[in-house]
Amino acid sequence: MLIRVLMLLLLASSLFAGELNDKWPPGKTEKMTYEIKILKPNEVINYNYVEITRSNDGKNIFHVRQTLEMPIQSIKIISEEKYSAGDLNLISSSNKFFLPPGALASLRVDTLVIEAVRKGDSLYITSNSDKGPSETLALESGVMTSAGSHLAIRDMNLETGRVYKYSYINLLRFTGKSYQIQDVTDSVLNIEKITTPIGTFDCYKVSNRIPGAVGFSYYTADYKHIPLLIELLDPESNETIMTLTLQEYE
């Protein structure tokens, strides 16, 4: 169960691109705080703190830093990634899992580190544990990670009925199996009013199909396309198993 949760938790991070790429000046930083409510098998509350900065050094890069805190499980995950602002391709991803003492016996490390760097048409993945194998993957096009899975959607013209596809790799797992690049399909369903602690907004409802779950993401209908709410459902029972709700935005 823990591994499955780690696969799904870091879906809240999003980059501004497309229209926002022109409106986000170098050096600007955005911060978002999400409440993560896990409903099955027991209700648990966690938090994800997201910080996005566009570099002002002329390299035109978006830096994404996430800190996921799971106090009951004594787990903390820090993810730092770089994306090219021009084509929104992943440049690098560094993920550090600060694990509870019990993990040392099974994983042989108390801090698991999984990193990926793109060089040309290849993605080089390294890890300090065989539970996250080191390997090289060939890339046919750009690829998104879990920390940037909503980046592509916010770059697009969200209109009801539109369908978007992109490539996805999940680096937030440690099963010992090889990593795979998978195709993801997102569909814009309709517009709904969504209320969160930061207010009530008209939002595009987008269906997300990811391995192991079905998700619905709600983006503000203005040009920012801020992700206010994300719901994850069990594909067999159709029950909601987790929600991510925006609590603070600055």
Q: Is 249 left (phi over 0), alpha (psi -120 to 50) or beta?
A: beta
Architecture of domain 2-249: Beta Barrel (2.40)
pLDDT digits (tens, 9 = 90+) for 160-214: 888 877 777 888 777 778 888 887 778 889 999 999 999 999 999 988 776 666 7
At 163 the pLDDT is: 82
pLDDT digits (tens, 9 = 90+) for 102-116: 776 677 778 889 999
pLDDT digits (tens, 9 = 90+) for 61-100: 889 898 989 888 888 989 999 988 777 788 999 999 898 8
Tokens of 6: 């780690």
Q: pTM of the entire structure? A: 0.85
Q: Decide if 120 contacts 103 (C-beta within 8 A).
A: no
Tokens of 30: 């955005």
| Residue 20 phi, psi (nearest 5) | -70, -25
At 111 the pLDDT is: 86
CB proximity list for 154: less than 8 A, separation 6 or greater = 14, 15, 16, 17, 18, 20, 219, 225, 227
pLDDT above 50 for 12: no
pLDDT digits (tens, 9 = 90+) for 227-244: 899 898 887 888 888 899
At 49 the pLDDT is: 92
